[in-house]
């Protein structure tokens, strides 16, 4: 219920009522009273500050920064204002200003593990990883019980290639907070990256506790498949993450069918036609559409664990996505290129600056094709661009089928080409997705794939030089075979 501050004895009483609403999560009620207070006392610093925090909680980043900054201008000596301002600025992406606010908080009210952790997260976002690691360690010294600091330290040391050490920090976070889904999922992918599959697959089930997985959790009221014989039951196999993950998991569909099931797969709309051609699939439905009747269900990324996948049993017998290749005349080496994935900020380290692709254009006797569906600006070099006519991944597969080689960063395109058995070169960041393991230049998942890893974080130039050199050899080999 919204109240009117004119019914209260004082502004102080009104503020306390608003604060109580705020602490209880009744943000609408709290906001209304804060605004009434400010209408009477425009320089009420606490009301201004907490109105800013409500904006922050609502995701209104610019408003949050403006309001919290105003509260500090009114009352510049309040230490916790700066602590909160640091967090507001960090979430708004203003990392250097956030660090300055955190430091001012320490100056006014002393050391605080949470503040040091905030500083570390800013430094990590700025790719100042060694400084971030130092700050996370300082946060833990101040607050040994801070599970998030142990987790974030694990993430930071993983980014500099200290994979075993990272798992240790994830385990410390889990010991402090056993239901910590982020830490458990990170531990799982860390184990999988190192080839410790048995424990990794078990721990990977913790991903269902992640906020981002809420929409893909199992359908209520239907049993979850454990790998047993299906006896002609219909099984719904649910895509749960990215489109590359679906393509990677499609190798298991025929194995499910061999257990006697009718396989119905639920995938992203652009994958519908492609998945219809996968061996073992009886039906396909798009994510978000009404589901047909089914008996049991399973999530795609649970399949490797259900089938007991180990390094020596990874199913890499060859292509499992087949597309007819049209007859073509002899000519230049045909090479498809993809230099960036989705626009998701989390994927930015997997993207190569488009301008660097121009180095490949120096290689002679090569005809380049763009496989980049989403891009900003013009093509980086002269190439044929079939993508405006490409509507889905089935169309993309037809383009790839008539290429000699695909060169891509870690995207669904790379998985598609590998699953088709096409010769594929994948350019990877120094710390890549767990599927690419550690210190390998091949992939047990895709026998026709070669991996090119950064030797140092963020350094793509050396990678593209190696790719260009090998491409020149490939082109020369084609010419030598009579082209």
pLDDT-based confidence at residue 340 (cuts at 50, 70, 90)? confident
State yes or no: pLDDT of 8 exceeds 70: no
Q: Mean pLDDT over all residues of the chain?
A: 92
Q: Are 51 and 74 in contact (CB under 8 A)?
A: no
Q: What is the pLDDT of residue 139?
A: 98
Q: Where are the beta strands (DSSP E) in 53-170?
A: none
State yes or no: pLDDT of 324 exceeds 80: no
3-state secondary structure of 80: helix
Q: What is the pLDDT of residue 312?
A: 85
User: Residue 403 and residue 423: Cα distance in Å, rounded?
Assistant: 9
What's the half-sphere exposure (Cβ side, CA atoms, 13 Å) at 364? Answer: 4
Rounded average pLDDT over 437-461: 94
Q: Are 55 and 30 in contact (CB under 8 A)?
A: no
State yes or no: pLDDT of 477 exceeds 90: no
Strands 424-428 and 405-409: parallel
Q: What is the pLDDT of residue 376?
A: 64
User: Residue 183 and residue 171: Cα distance in Å, rounded?
Assistant: 8
3-state secondary structure of 370: strand
Give Cα 466 distance to the centre of its chain.
27
Q: What is the pLDDT of residue 317?
A: 64
Q: What is the pLDDT of residue 297?
A: 98
Rounded average pLDDT over 440-468: 95
Rounded average pLDDT over 102-112: 97
Q: What is the pLDDT of residue 10?
A: 83
Rounded average pLDDT over 184-193: 98
State yes or no: pLDDT of 316 exceeds 70: no
Domains of the chain, each with CATH number or no CATH:
5-209 (1.25.40.10), 225-313 (3.40.50), 333-480 (3.40.50.2000)
User: Residue 390 and residue 373: Cα distance in Å, rounded?
Assistant: 8
Residues 370-401: tens digit of each pLDDT: 999 887 678 888 999 999 999 999 999 999 99
Q: What is the pLDDT of residue 243?
A: 96
pLDDT-based confidence at residue 341 (cuts at 50, 70, 90)? confident
Rounded average pLDDT over 167-190: 98
Rounded average pLDDT over 39-64: 96
Instruction: Kindly state the percentage of the chain with pLDDT values over 70.
Output: 93
Residues 109-161: tens digit of each pLDDT: 999 999 999 999 999 999 999 999 999 999 999 999 999 999 999 999 999 99
DSSP for 258-316 reads HTT-EEEEEE-GGGHHHHHTSTTEEEEEETTSPP---SEEEEGGGHHHHTT--GGG---
Q: What is the pLDDT of residue 481?
A: 46
CA angle 309, 315, 319 (to 5 degrees): 155
Strands 262-267 and 449-453: unpaired
User: Residue 91 and residue 84: Cα distance in Å, rounded?
Assistant: 11
Strands 234-238 and 366-370: unpaired
Rounded average pLDDT over 26-38: 94
For residue 425, the cross-strand partners are 407, 450
pLDDT-based confidence at residue 318 (cuts at 50, 70, 90)? confident
User: What are the helix (H) ranges across 126-196?
Assistant: 129-142, 147-159, 163-176, 181-193
User: Residue 408 and residue 411: Cα distance in Å, rounded?
Assistant: 7
Rounded average pLDDT over 85-92: 98
Q: Find the length of the chain.
A: 483
Cα(first)–Cα(last) distance of the chain, in Å? Answer: 80
Rounded average pLDDT over 52-71: 97
Q: What is the pLDDT of residue 411?
A: 93
Residues 242-279: tens digit of each pLDDT: 999 999 999 999 999 999 999 999 999 999 999 999 99
User: Residue 180 and residue 330: Cα distance in Å, rounded?
Assistant: 57
CB atoms near residue 190 (< 10 Å): 24
User: Residue 149 and residue 152: Cα distance in Å, rounded?
Assistant: 5
Q: Where are the beta strands (DSSP E) in 313-388?
A: 333-338, 366-370
Rounded average pLDDT over 195-201: 96
State yes or no: pLDDT of 480 exceeds 50: no
Q: What would you report as the CA-atom Rg of the chain, rounded to the nearest whole angstrom?
A: 27
Q: What is the pLDDT of residue 482?
A: 43
3-state secondary structure of 45: helix
State yes or no: pLDDT of 187 exceeds 70: yes
Q: Are 413 and 425 in contact (CB under 8 A)?
A: no
pLDDT-based confidence at residue 479 (cuts at 50, 70, 90)? very low
Q: What is the pLDDT of residue 5?
A: 60
Sheet arrangement for strand 405-409: 366-370, 333-338, 405-409, 424-428, 449-453
Rounded average pLDDT over 76-100: 97
């Amino acid at each position: 219920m919204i109240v009117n501050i004119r019914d209260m004895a004082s502004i102080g009483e009104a503020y306390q009522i608003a604060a109580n609403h705020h602490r209880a999560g009744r943000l609408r009620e709290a906001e209304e009273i804060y605004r009434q207070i400010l209408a009477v006392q425009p320089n009420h610093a606490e009301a201004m500050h907490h109105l800013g925090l409500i904006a922050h909680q609502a995701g209104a980043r610019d408003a949050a920064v403006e309001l919290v900054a105003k509260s500090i201008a009114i009352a510049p000596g309040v230490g916790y204002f700066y602590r909160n301002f640091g967090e507001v600025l960090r979430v708004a992406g203003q990392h250097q200003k956030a660090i300055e606010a955190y430091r001012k908080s320490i100056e006014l009210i002393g050391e605080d593990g949470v503040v040091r952790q905030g500083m570390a997260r800013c430094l990590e976002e700025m790719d100042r990883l060694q400084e971030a690691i130092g700050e996370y360690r300082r946060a833990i010294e101040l607050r040994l019980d801070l599970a998030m600091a142990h987790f974030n330290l694990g993430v930071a040391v993983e980014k500099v290639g200290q994979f075993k050490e990272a798992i240790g920090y994830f385990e410390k976070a889990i010991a402090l907070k056993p239901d910590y889904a982020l830490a458990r999922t990170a531990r799982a992918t860390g184990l999988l990256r190192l080839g410790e599959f048995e424990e990794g697959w078990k721990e990977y089930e913790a991903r269902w506790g992640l906020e981002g997985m809420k929409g893909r959790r199992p359908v209520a009221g239907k049993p979850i498949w454990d790998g047993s014989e299906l006896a002609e039951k219909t099984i719904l196999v649910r895509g749960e993450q990215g489109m590359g993950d679906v393509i990677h998991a499609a190798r298991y569909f025929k194995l499910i069918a061999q257990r006697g099931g009718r396989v119905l797969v639920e995938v992203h709309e652009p994958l519908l036609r492609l998945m219809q051609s996968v061996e073992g699939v009886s039906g396909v439905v798009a994510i978000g559409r009404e589901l047909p009747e089914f008996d049991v269900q399973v999530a795609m990324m649970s399949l490797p664990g259900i089938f007991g996948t180990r390094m020596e049993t990874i199913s890499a017998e060859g292509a499992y996505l087949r597309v007819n290749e049209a007859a073509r005349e002899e000519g230049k080496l045909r090479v498809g290129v993809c230099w960036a994935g989705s626009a998701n900020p989390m994927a930015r380290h997997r993207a190569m600056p488009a301008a660097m692709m121009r180095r490949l254009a120096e290689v002679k006797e090569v005809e380049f094709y763009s496989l980049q569906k989403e891009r900003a600006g013009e093509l980086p070099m002269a190439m044929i661009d079939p993508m405006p006519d490409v509507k889905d991944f089935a169309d993309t597969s037809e383009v790839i089928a008539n290429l000699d080689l695909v060169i891509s960063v870690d995207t669904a395109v790379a998985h598609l080409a590998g699953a088709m058995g096409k010769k594929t070169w994948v350019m990877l960041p120094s710390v890549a997705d767990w599927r690419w393991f550690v210190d390998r230049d091949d992939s047990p998942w895709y026998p026709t794939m070669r991996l090119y890893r950064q030797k140092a974080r963020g350094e793509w130039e050396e990678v593209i030089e190696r790719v260009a050199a090998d491409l020149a050899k490939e082109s020369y080999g084609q010419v030598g075979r009579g082209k």
